Amino acid sequence: GDSGGFKIVNLQPGTYTVTVNATGFAPFTNENVIVEVGRSTTIDVGLSLQGVTGTVQVTAEAPVINTSQQDFSTNVNQVSLNNLPANGRRWSNFAILTPGAVPDGTFGLISFRGISGLLNNSTVDGGDNNQAFFSEERGRTRIGYVVSQAAIREFQVNTSNFSAEYGRSAGGVINAVTKSGTNQFHGSGFLFDRNNKWGARNPNSFITQLVNGVATRVALKPKDVRYQFGGAVGGPIVKDKAFFFFSYDQQKRDFPGVSVFSTVSYLSTVNRTTLTARGLTTAQVDSALSFINSLTGETPRR
């Protein structure tokens, strides 16, 4: 503009090299300029008069303190997403890296500063990523996520003093951006396999069953099979103008529930005595207890 300032918007998060040229001045190059989601990156350009040959080259470093914004936030970039372990590939779990963030119970939500996980706000590419019923993050207990980790470029976690553009949140704000294609083709794939046959039995896992007519505490190792596979691919449609990016993520799970009696002694002789006292024959008592006994153990999820 007239004041000498220029603004570039809608850049993908990443590391850039900025070069400025002007007639009569030495070229200015600033390397390793980091652009993060939800943040403004400012570069001060100093041009010197051009001599016979001259180039001004500056290598940028991330500031220790962000002095241009008042929010309390943490950015999780592509390096962290690719290298940190994530059980189930639920990328938003990395929000736990933010100070003041803790798991909110067993339902897959996150609490910021002790506030209910129902009061957070989640956006992807500026669009709403909350379910309509509870206004909480999509997925929760039914599915792990609606956007694959393979499609997430970077996300920002705002915990306080965030911009009014995010709004409607007494807790935290998770603001994510997805990947896009480039002038080169890139792809990735993954396959994870989890099977109870490869692990030890839980030493605290037991059920009570009839063994030779006697109520017995029996060790149990329930079935637990989970497959997760998918990938992503991106590239140019028209070089420098149009690009595509596609990701696929599927989960197959088979881990049945375990049915147990709330009272360990339910199948004891006391019940046999009670049933006999009510006029049932021995055969009827045996049939009834065998049927009840068959209901214990693994129960398929429908």
Does residue 163 sit in the same domain as residue 192?
no
Distance CA 245, CA 13 (A): 16
Top pLDDT among 11 and 265 is at 11
Does residue 147 sit in the same domain as residue 227?
no
**Confidence category of residue 135, pLDDT binned at 50, 70, 90:** low
Does residue 247 sit in the same domain as residue 196?
yes
Residue 104: per-residue pLDDT: 81
Domain CATH number, residue 173: 2.170.130.10
Does residue 49 sit in the same domain as residue 80?
no
Percent of the chain predicted with pLDDT > 70: 85
How many CA atoms within 13 Å lie on the side-chain side of 218? 21
The stretch 41-69 carries a mean pLDDT of: 64
The answer to whether residues 174 and 155 touch, using CB atoms and an 8 Å cutoff, is yes
**Confidence category of residue 284, pLDDT binned at 50, 70, 90:** confident
Does residue 48 sit in the same domain as residue 13?
yes
The answer to whether residues 19 and 29 touch, using CB atoms and an 8 Å cutoff, is yes
Does residue 137 sit in the same domain as residue 165?
yes
Residue 246: per-residue pLDDT: 96
**178, 201, 220 - which closes a domain:** 178
Residue 69: per-residue pLDDT: 56
The answer to whether residues 232 and 248 touch, using CB atoms and an 8 Å cutoff, is yes
Distance CA 170, CA 153 (A): 26
Per the document, the length of the chain is: 302
Q: DSSP letters of 76-119?
A: E-HHHHHHS--TT--GGGGGGGSTTEEEETTTTEEEETTB-GGG
For residue 128, the Cα-to-chain-centroid distance in whole angstroms is 16
- Buried b vs exposed e over 17-43: b needs ≥16 C-beta within 10 Å? ebebeeeebbebebeebbebbbbeeee
Domain CATH number, residue 30: 2.60.40
Does residue 41 sit in the same domain as residue 83?
no
Residue 248: per-residue pLDDT: 95
Span of 27-36, 237-246, 259-268, 281-290 with lowest mean pLDDT: 259-268
**Confidence category of residue 159, pLDDT binned at 50, 70, 90:** confident
The stretch 243-249 carries a mean pLDDT of: 95
The Cα-based distances of 38 to 47, 64, 71, 79, 245 in angstroms read: 29, 17, 10, 17, 22
**178, 212, 242 - which closes a domain:** 178
Does residue 6 sit in the same domain as residue 85?
no
The stretch 22-41 carries a mean pLDDT of: 83
Residue 264: per-residue pLDDT: 65
Does residue 150 sit in the same domain as residue 220?
no
Nearest to 194 by CA among 223, 224, 222, 221: 224
Average per-residue pLDDT for the chain: 81
Burial class (CB in 10 A: 0-12, 13-18, 19+), 149: buried
**69, 100, 126 - which closes a domain:** 69
Does residue 131 sit in the same domain as residue 120?
yes
Residue 190: per-residue pLDDT: 93
Does residue 192 sit in the same domain as residue 262?
yes
Does residue 76 sit in the same domain as residue 64?
no
Backbone angles phi, psi at 2, to 5 degrees: -65, -30
Per-residue pLDDT of 189-233, as tens digits, reads 999 998 988 888 888 888 877 776 677 788 888 888 889 999 999
Which of the listed ranges 4-13, 28-37, 123-132, 146-155 does the model predict with the highest average pLDDT?
146-155
Per-residue pLDDT of 72-111, as tens digits, reads 778 888 888 888 888 788 888 888 888 888 888 766 688 8
The stretch 67-75 carries a mean pLDDT of: 66
Number of domains in the chain: 3
Per-residue pLDDT of 250-281, as tens digits, reads 988 888 888 877 776 666 655 677 778 888 88
**Confidence category of residue 113, pLDDT binned at 50, 70, 90:** confident
Distance CA 88, CA 103 (A): 15
Domain enclosing residue 233, as ranges: 187-299
The stretch 174-193 carries a mean pLDDT of: 92
